[in-house]
Structure 1
Amino acid sequence: MIEEERKGMRLSKQREAILAELCKVTTHPTADEVYEMVRKTMPRISLGTVYRNLDFLSSRGLVLRIGGAGTQKRFDGNPVPHPHVRCSVCGRVEDVEPFFELPELPEAHAMGYTNLRCDVEFVGVCPLCAAKKM
């Protein structure tokens, strides 16, 4: 059983399985892809259950939800905020390596907002899509 030490909470078997699968990969899968991954060990799990549990895990800061408006959401098993790069053609998402320190918003500029985080996503064309255009 996966114990989430950062939050000190026990997770259901479905949430454990989803989190375990996300932590195994660096591909930033979509919810549908997570569903296919989890079905290998939990064949009776539903797509709706995966969606609801991904929402739960991301709302608790256990996984990152990646993607802006108009893009398919992807999920990252590494919950530490870090920069990503997304292909504008195929939607592939990768971690920017090596990680670099993300900016912080000074309190004087936060306009009363609390619990601020910074999501950095660069957008470009991945090498595979660029090669297809040639």
Structure 2
Amino acid sequence: MSVASQQALFYLKKNGVRITPQRCAILSYLLEHMNHPTVEEIYEALKYKLPTISVATIYNNLRLFKEINLVCELTYGDHANRFDANMKEHYHAVCTKCGSLADFSYPSIEKVEKQARDSTGFVIVDHRIEFYGICPRCSSKS
């Protein structure tokens, strides 16, 4: 088990969450596959290892992980929602052809948040920056 998985399990315990084989498997998969999988992708990957796991179990556990800020859910219009276990501040590039996502980091945007706060009067609690384009795999097919 990776250090990240051990830390995540400790975090679950600290938040009073019972550790089950299904939770361990879902969490490990998310931490090992940083490709922002969908529920269906997680299910397909785990159903052979855990034949009794269901799509509903995956949804329920992901909802729990979201509630305690262990993962975030990424929604992109008509595409299936994706889940990200990287909770550090980062951004995404989204392929408009295949829907794949890629992470990238950028320096803090505190000045942009301040400008949003000053010009709108909103209390800014979060932000999301995304870039849309065509990924290298789709570009090479053209």
**Aligned counterpart for 1:120 among listed residues 122, 129, 135:** 129
Paired position in structure 2 for 1:4? 11
Task: Give the total of aligned pairs.
Answer: 129
- Does structure 2 conserve the Cα–Cα contact (< 8 Å) formed by 1:3 and 1:11? no
What is the letter of the counterpart of residue 33 of structure 1? E
Is the helix fraction higher in 1 or 2? 2
**Aligned counterpart for 2:94 among listed residues 80, 83, 86:** 86
**What's the CA shift string for 1:7-39, capped at 9, x where partnerless?**
822343122321111001121111101112232
**Within 2, Cα distance between the matches of 1:19 and 1:88?**
28
- Does structure 2 conserve the Cα–Cα contact (< 8 Å) formed by 1:87 and 1:93? yes
**What's the CA shift string for 1:31-71, capped at 9, x where partnerless?**
10111223243220101111122122123210121233333
Gaps of 5+ in 1: none
**Aligned counterpart for 1:62 among listed residues 65, 70, 76:** 70
Query: Structure 1 pair 68/81, CA: closer, same or farther in 2 (3 Å)?
Result: farther
**SS in structure 1 of the partner of residue 73 of structure 2:** strand
Identity of aligned residues (%): 31
**SS in structure 1 of the partner of residue 99 of structure 2:** coil
**1:52 and 2:60 correspond:** yes
Task: State the TM-score, normalized to the length of structure 1.
Answer: 0.80
**1:101 and 2:110 correspond:** no
Higher alpha-carbon Rg: 2
The structural deviation recorded for 1:80 is 1.8
- Does structure 2 conserve the Cα–Cα contact (< 8 Å) formed by 1:81 and 1:118? no
**SS in structure 2 of the partner of residue 55 of structure 1:** helix
Paired position in structure 1 for 2:85? 77
Paired position in structure 1 for 2:36? 28
